[in-house]
Amino acid sequence: MPQHVLRWPVLRWLCAGLFTTLMAGSLWAGGGMVLRDDKCIIEIGFYDAHFTAYQPQTRGNEQFCQELPDVGETLFVLDYLHGSMKEVPIDFRIITDVTDLGRFVQVSDIEAIENIEPITVFYHEPTVHSDASMSVDHTFAAPGNYIGVVTAGHPTKDAIYRAVFPFTVAKNDYTWLMLSGSVIILLLPLGYRFLRRRGAVAQ
């Protein structure tokens, strides 16, 4: 028998921690996208919209959120979940990610860009969609890292709300996975030492 054997509750605790760490990175990207009931939701101030991306030429009706597998035609659909969104103009912009922040980009990072036009690859001007749904179509010519920017006003106040969400096109993003793995490797010896001192590891 090995000199040190982890008891089952401790092993289960470590596995749960690993799973939670990895999942946290894959779910939350940027300042505007969250996962709710297995659906991608964009939070634009106090507004919510269900977000779905399709690539009909290559993937049919398959739905995507932040990792688009192919270049080519892509259909973005925002289904409004807040009634007053039908009353205000909403625009949709896609820019090349020049921030190098990836999944950690925030609205303030986009607002700090002095001139956003040269890096804009698509722009849908502010439009009122009374049917509570916005659909925009763009054809990506090259793989890469991109950021979606959605802007909406308030129905009665002089206020503007903005959400950003990074996404990739035809590009596997292993950055967070590698980072999580490195952190776990560094922390495991410390955790093991701590558990030994508390008697959670059998001698």
Does one domain contain both 142 and 198?
no
CA-CA distance, 151 to 113, in Å (whole number)?
16
Tell me which residue of 42, 22, 24 sits closest to 165, measured CA to CA: 42
Does one domain contain both 80 and 165?
yes
Does one domain contain both 89 and 142?
yes
Per DSSP, the chain holds a count of helices (H) and strands (E) of 4, 13
Does one domain contain both 84 and 127?
yes
Highest mean pLDDT among 17-21, 147-151, 171-175, 196-200: 147-151
CATH code at 35? 2.60.40.10
Does one domain contain both 36 and 11?
no
pLDDT at residue 37, as a whole number: 85
Does one domain contain both 134 and 99?
yes
Residues 165-173, mean pLDDT to the nearest whole number: 86
Q: pLDDT tens for residues 95-150?
A: 999 999 988 999 999 999 999 999 999 999 999 999 999 999 999 999 999 999 99
Does one domain contain both 161 and 95?
yes
Does one domain contain both 118 and 67?
yes
β strands within the chain, DSSP E: 5-6, 33-36, 39-44, 47-54, 63-64, 67-68, 72-80, 90-96, 120-127, 133-140, 144-153, 160-169, 201-202
CA-CA distance, 192 to 203, in Å (whole number)?
12
Does one domain contain both 157 and 192?
no
CA-CA distance, 25 to 181, in Å (whole number)?
11
pLDDT at residue 4, as a whole number: 47
pLDDT band at 32 (very low <50, low <70, confident <90, very high): confident
Q: pLDDT tens for residues 74-101?
A: 999 999 999 999 999 999 999 999 999 9
Does one domain contain both 35 and 91?
yes
Segments forming the whole domain that contains residue 150 = 31-171
Tell me which residue of 152, 164, 44 sits closest to 112, measured CA to CA: 164
Helix, strand or coil for residue 186? Answer: helix
Does one domain contain both 35 and 23?
no
- Give how many domains the chain has, as a whole number: 2
Does one domain contain both 148 and 185?
no
pLDDT at residue 35, as a whole number: 87
